[in-house]
Structure 1
Amino acid sequence: MTLSVLDRFYLIDDGFFSFNLKYLFFVGLWPEKTLTRNQKILYKMYEHFISFLTTTFIVLAGIGTYQHKDDLVVVFCNIDKCLVVYNFFFKTIIFFIKRNQLRDLIDEIESSGDEVTEERKKLMANYVMFITGVTAAVIGAFSLLALFEGTMSIEAWLPFDPMESLMNQILSLEILAFCVFPGLCRAFAMQGLVCSMIMYLCDQLIHLQKELRDLTYVKETEMVMRTKFKNAIRKHIRLMGYSGRMENIFKEYFLVQNLAVTVELCLNAVMMTVVGVQQITLLITFLAYLMLALVNAYIYCYLGNELIIQSQGIALAAYESTWTSWPVDLQKDLLIVILAAQRPLKLSAGGMALLCIQTFSQALYNGYSIFAVLNDAVN
C-alpha cells in the first residue's frame, strides 16, 4: 500500500507536534537539540538571513510608500499590504523571545504520556499546509494580475526602474516575493504550532470529561477507582498548568494579532470610501487580504472559545458522574474539582481580552468604530 508524504512522516517521528516543529525548523525558528556546534552556527546564520529578508522588505516598502506620499490610494494600498508583514514580523520577535519557555513546555507535554490520535496529528499538519497554500495562491494571483496590468503589486524602492521594461517588472516582483515569502512561512509555522497546542488542550479536556463520567464506585474495585480518580485530578491540575504557561507565553503574540485585525478592518473601511468603484481591482485586493486576516483571527478566537467551553465542561462531567454512591472523602475531592473547574482555562490578548468569539466580534466593532470617528473627522 502506498503511503502519503504525511503518513511516512508520522511513521518517522511520532511526536505530538512533529510536523509543526519540522516546519518551524525549516523556516529558521526552531533549532534542533541534536545539531552539532558548527551546524548551530550555520543555523543561526540562516535565522538571521531570513530575518534580514523581512527587514529588507519593510525598508524597501517604507521608502516606496514615502516616495508616493502624495498619492493617498497608493499610500493606503501599501500600508494595507505591509500591515500583514508587520503583523508576522512582530510575532516572530515575540516568538524568539519566548522560544526557550515554549520549548520547555512542549518537551513536558510530549513526555506527559497523553495520547493524541493520528487523525488529529494529520489535521494539525493539513491545516498548516492548507493556509500556506491558500495565502501563497492569493498573493501569487494578485502579483500576476499586477504584472498583466503593468503595475506593481506593492510600491517599493528598487535600484532600478521596475516600469522600464517587462523584465524589470518581473525581476522586481521576484525580489519582493523572495524577501517576503520566507517571513510568511514563518507566520504560518507559528500559527500552526499555536493552534495545535490549543487543540491538544481541548482534546485532553474532552478525554478527561469522559474519564470522570465513567468513574463508578464498586466496593470490590475501590482501589482501582481511587487510582483512576487520583490520576484524573492530577491530569486536570497538569492541564491547568499548561494553559497558564501558554497564556504567559502567547499573550503578547495574541495582542499583536488582535491589534492587527482591528487596524486592518479600519484601514479597509477607509479605503472603501477613498477608492472609487472604477478601481475594482484594488477593492478586490483589499477585500481578499481582509478576508484572510479575518479567517486567521477567527480560527484563533474559535479555538480559544472551545478551550473555555471544554474546561467548563469538566465541572458538568464531574457532577454527572455517579458521585452519590461514593464515599464521603471522594465526594469532597470531587467538589474541589467542580470548584476548580468553575474558573475556565483561557488564553488572552495581552491580558486585556479573552481569546473567544466575543473578542473577535469586539475587534470588528472596534475597527468600525475607529473608522466612523475618522470618517466624521474628515467630513
Structure 2
Amino acid sequence: MFGSLLELSDDFFAYNLKYLFLVGLWPDDPWARAHPTLYKMYENNTHLLSIIFLIISGIGTYQIKDDVVLLMTNLDKCLVAYNFVAKVGIFVFKRRQVEIIILEIINSGDQFTEERKKMTLMLITVITGLSTSIVGAFSALALYHNEMSVEAWMPFDPMESTMNLLTAAQLLAITFVVPVIWRAIAIQGIVCSLIMYVCDQLVELQDRIRSLEFTSTTEKAVRDEFKDIVKKHVRLMGYTQDMNKIFEEYFLIQNLAVTLELCLNALMATMVGFDQKTLLATFFAFLCVALMNAYIYCYLGNEMITQSENLALAAYESSWISWPLDLQKDLVILLRVAQKPLYMSAGGMVAMSIQTYSQTLYNGYSIFAVLNDVVA
C-alpha cells in the first residue's frame, strides 16, 4: 500500500509524501521498494542520530548546571529538539493509520485545486528554508564567537582548537538538521495537508448545497445530489474522527512545548541583560519559529471549525422552502448535525483554534509570572 500512495496522490499529498521519504519516514518510492533493507537501515540510522543528539545535549546541559543563565539557554534550545523528536515518535507509531486515511482520501475521488497544491508545496518549502536559515545563522554566529551553538558532550574538547570546534559543529548539524528539524517539518506538512483537505471539501459541500434548485423536472437530480452531499459529510466526519485519534497526542505535545518555550524565553529575557544582544536575539528567533508553527496549526484548526459550522448556514440559506416535506426533514437533520463543528483535538482536552492559541500564550505567561516571583 505504501508503494501506491505517491503514484495515486495526484500531487496534493505527493510533495509531503516525497519529503517524508527523503527524511526516512515514508518508504514510498521506487528506489525504496526496490531496496527495502537499505531504506530501513537509513530510517533506523536517522532515528539513532536524533537520539544521539538528545543524549549528548542532555549530558551537556547537566555539565553546565551550575551556570543558571547558560543552563536556561541550553534548555531553551534543546526544548525544540525534545518537542520535534517526541512528535516524530508519535508519527512513526501511528504511520500505518496515516497511510490508511490518505489512501481512503485518494480513492474517494475528491478533487484538489491547483492553488491548494501549490500552497502545500509553498508551506513546507518556506518553513524548511526559514527554520534551516535561523539555525544555520545562529550556528555560524556561535562559531564566529568561538562558542558552541548548543552545549553538548563531545568525546574531545571542542574549545581546544578551531578544528575541534568546527568538528563539534558538524556533528551537531548531522544529528540535528535532518533527523530533527527536517523530519518535524515533513510531518507538519502532511498534518496541515490533511486539515486543509477537510476544509476545502467542506467549502465544496457549502457551494453544492446552496446550488440545489428543486423543480418537478430536477427532482431526481436534486435528491441524488443531496444524498451524495450527506454521504460526503458523513465521510468527512469519519476522516476527522480518525485524524483526532492519530494526532491528539501530537497536538498536545505541540501546545505544551509552546507554553514552555514562551515561559523560558520570558524568564531568560528578565535574567539576561541587553548587553547580551546575541543571546536575546537567539531566544527571540527560536520563539518566533515556535509561535509561527503553533499558529499554523491553530489557524487551520480554527478554519476547520468555521467551515464545518458554515455548512449549517449554507443549508439554511438553500432554497429549502420549495422542497418537499421529506427532503426538508432530511435537510433539518443535516443542519442539526452540521451545527456541531468538526475540530482537531489536543489530547482530547481542547480544540485547536485561535482561542486555544491565545490560551496557550496566556498559560506560558502565567507560568513565567509565578516563576519570576519565586526567583525574585
What TM-score bracket applies, with the shorter chain setting the length?
A: over 0.9
SS at match of 1:258: helix
Distance 1:98 1:13, change over 3 A: closer
Deviations 1:9-57 (A, max 9, x none): x999624301101111111111128677772222221111011111111
Structure 1 window deviating more from structure 2 (302-311 vs 12-21): it is 12-21
Deviations 1:47-101 (A, max 9, x none): 1101111111111111111111111111111111110100010001100111111
Give 1:359's match in structure 2, choosing from 343, 348, 356: 356
Q: Distance in 2 between matches of 1:134 and 1:327?
A: 56
Give 1:196's match in structure 2, choosing from 190, 193, 196: 193
Query: Which residue of 1 is the match for residue 3 of structure 2?
Result: none
AA partner of residue 16 (structure 1) = F
Q: Distance in 1 between matches of 2:234 and 2:357?
A: 29
Q: What is the CA RMSD across the aligned residues, in angstroms?
A: 1.6
Contact 1:68-1:74 at 8 Å conserved across structures: yes
Give 2:95's match in structure 1, choosing from 96, 99, 113: 99
Query: Which residue of 2 is the match for residue 4 of structure 1?
Result: none
Q: Is 1:168 aligned with 2:203?
A: no
Q: Distance in 2 between matches of 1:59 and 1:367?
A: 27
Query: Which residue of 1 is the match for residue 68 of structure 2?
Result: 72
AA partner of residue 135 (structure 1) = S
Deviations 1:325-378 (A, max 9, x none): 001111011000000001100001000111000100001110111111111122
Q: Distance in 1 between matches of 2:158 and 2:165?
A: 5
Query: Which residue of 2 is the match for residue 3 of structure 1?
Result: none
Deviations 1:191-235 (A, max 9, x none): 001011111111110011000000000101211111111111111
Q: Distance in 1 between matches of 2:374 and 2:144?
A: 38
Query: Which residue of 1 is the match for residue 274 of structure 2?
Result: 277
Pairs within 5 Å for 1:285-324 = 285-324=282-321
Runs of 4+ with >3 A deviation? 10-13, 33-38
AA partner of residue 290 (structure 1) = L
Pairs within 5 Å for 1:4-83 = 14-32=10-28, 39-83=35-79
Contact 1:15-1:110 at 8 Å conserved across structures: no
AA partner of residue 267 (structure 1) = L
Query: Which residue of 2 is the match for residue 331 of structure 1?
Result: 328
Q: Distance in 2 between matches of 1:12 and 1:196?
A: 16
Structure 1 window deviating more from structure 2 (11-20 vs 292-301): it is 11-20
SS at match of 1:215: coil
Contact 2:32-2:39 at 8 Å conserved across structures: no
Structure 1 window deviating more from structure 2 (31-40 vs 92-101): it is 31-40
Query: Which residue of 2 is the match for residue 242 of structure 1?
Result: 239
Give 1:158's match in structure 2, choosing from 139, 148, 154: 154
Give 2:223's match in structure 1, choosing from 222, 226, 235: 226
Identity over aligned residues, as a percent? 57
Q: Is 1:369 aligned with 2:375?
A: no
Pairs within 5 Å for 1:337-352 = 337-352=334-349
Q: Any stretches of 5+ residues in structure 1 without a counterpart? A: 1-9
SS at match of 2:94: helix
Q: Distance in 2 between matches of 1:272 and 1:37?
A: 50
Contact 2:101-2:239 at 8 Å conserved across structures: yes
- Normalization by structure 1: what TM-score? 0.95
Contact 1:16-1:110 at 8 Å conserved across structures: no
Query: Which residue of 2 is the match for residue 7 of structure 1?
Result: none
Distance 1:286 1:198, change over 3 A: same
